[in-house]
């Protein structure tokens, strides 16, 4: 059991460095996913704006068609005026033409409003398109940035893992199995520094005996949390 506390401290440091690299490597996929969600959201928003504009255009078209129908109807009524055989009939027709003309005025106002609204909806579609473009360009930019960063991190990870393997080779065979099991399950949390007789893994006070054994250089796993313990400097 010729492993010094210093060697364990170093092992822990390498473990933490590896954990940090793995954590940073997880950022890329997370950011990419966030960008993807933003693109989808922008596309949905654009789709909604387009549908709204389409609906607005159909509504305006409908009203314009209605207006033309009524104007045609007024023309027909006007053409009948000359054929009237009684004053009463003439008056009735005149009134109907006036009423239809009035209705058409209302309709013309409605058409004007609908066209104005469609202009606004068109602006909404434009802004929706800009939104999609912005989200897509962010996705591309983030993707490129993380691809470059991940390449560097992976190279660093390869180096640190080699360092870890080397440091682990210094562990005595009798604790290797338990260490491997704890390390596989917990990574950097497989080791814990002991400070003021407290285990850094579970923050429990160690017994005097455990503390003394550690001082004598024994390799001990905490009875409570299972961490491989080492003394701080
Ligand atoms: Zn503990």
CA of 232 to the centre of ligand 1 (A): 14
Cα-to-centroid distance, 201 and ligand 1 (Å): 4
Rounded to the nearest whole angstrom, what is the distance from the C-alpha of residue 68 to the centroid of ligand 1?
86
User: 126 CA distance to ligand 1 centroid (A)?
Assistant: 60
User: Given the structure tokens 């400070």, which residue do they identify?
Assistant: 195
Mean predicted confidence (pLDDT) in 126-150: 97
- Helix/strand/coil percent split, the chain, to 5: 80, 5, 15
Cα 77 to ligand 1 centroid, rounded to whole Å: 98
Task: Please state the pTM of the whole predicted model.
Answer: 0.72
Compute the distance from residue 223 Cα to the ligand 1 centre, in Å: 7
Q: Are strands 191-195 and 228-231 parallel, antiparallel or unpaired?
A: parallel
200 C-alpha to ligand 1 centroid (Å): 6
| pLDDT beyond 80 at 1 | no
Percentage of the chain lying above the pLDDT 90 cut: 94
Query: d(Cα 157, Cα 37) in Å, to the nearest integer?
Result: 29
pLDDT of amino acid 2: 61
Q: Which domains does the chain have, with CATH numbers?
A: 17-170 (1.10.287.1490), 171-233 (no CATH)
What spacing in Å lies between the alpha carbon of 231 and ligand 1's midpoint? 13
* Pair of tokens at residue 99: 């009423």
CA distance 7 to 93: 108
């Amino acid at each position: 059991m010729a492993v010094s506390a210093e060697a364990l401290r170093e092992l822990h440091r390498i473990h933490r460095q590896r954990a940090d690299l793995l954590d940073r490597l997880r950022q890329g996929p997370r950011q990419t996913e966030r960008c993807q969600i933003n693109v989808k959201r922008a596309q949905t928003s654009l789709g909604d704006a387009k549908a709204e504009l389409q609906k607005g255009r159909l509504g305006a078209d409908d009203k314009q068609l209605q207006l033309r129908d009524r104007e045609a109807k007024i023309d027909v009524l006007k053409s009948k005026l000359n054929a009237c055989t009684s004053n009463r009939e003439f008056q009735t027709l005149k009134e109907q033409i006036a009423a239809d003309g009035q209705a058409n005025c209302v309709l013309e106002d409605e058409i004007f409003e609908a066209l104005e609204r469609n202009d606004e909806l068109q602006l909404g579609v434009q802004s929706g398109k800009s939104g999609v473009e912005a989200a897509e360009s962010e996705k591309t930019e983030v993707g490129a940035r993380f691809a470059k960063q991940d390449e560097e991190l992976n190279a660093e990870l390869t180096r640190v893992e080699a360092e870890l393997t080397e440091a682990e080779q210094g562990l005595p065979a009798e604790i290797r199995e338990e260490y491997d099991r704890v390390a596989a399950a917990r990574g950097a949390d497989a080791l814990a520094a002991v400070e003021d007789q407290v285990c850094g893994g579970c923050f429990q006070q160690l017994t005097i005996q455990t503390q003394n054994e550690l001082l004598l250089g024994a390799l001990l796993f905490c009875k409570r949390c299972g961490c491989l313990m080492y003394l701080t400097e």
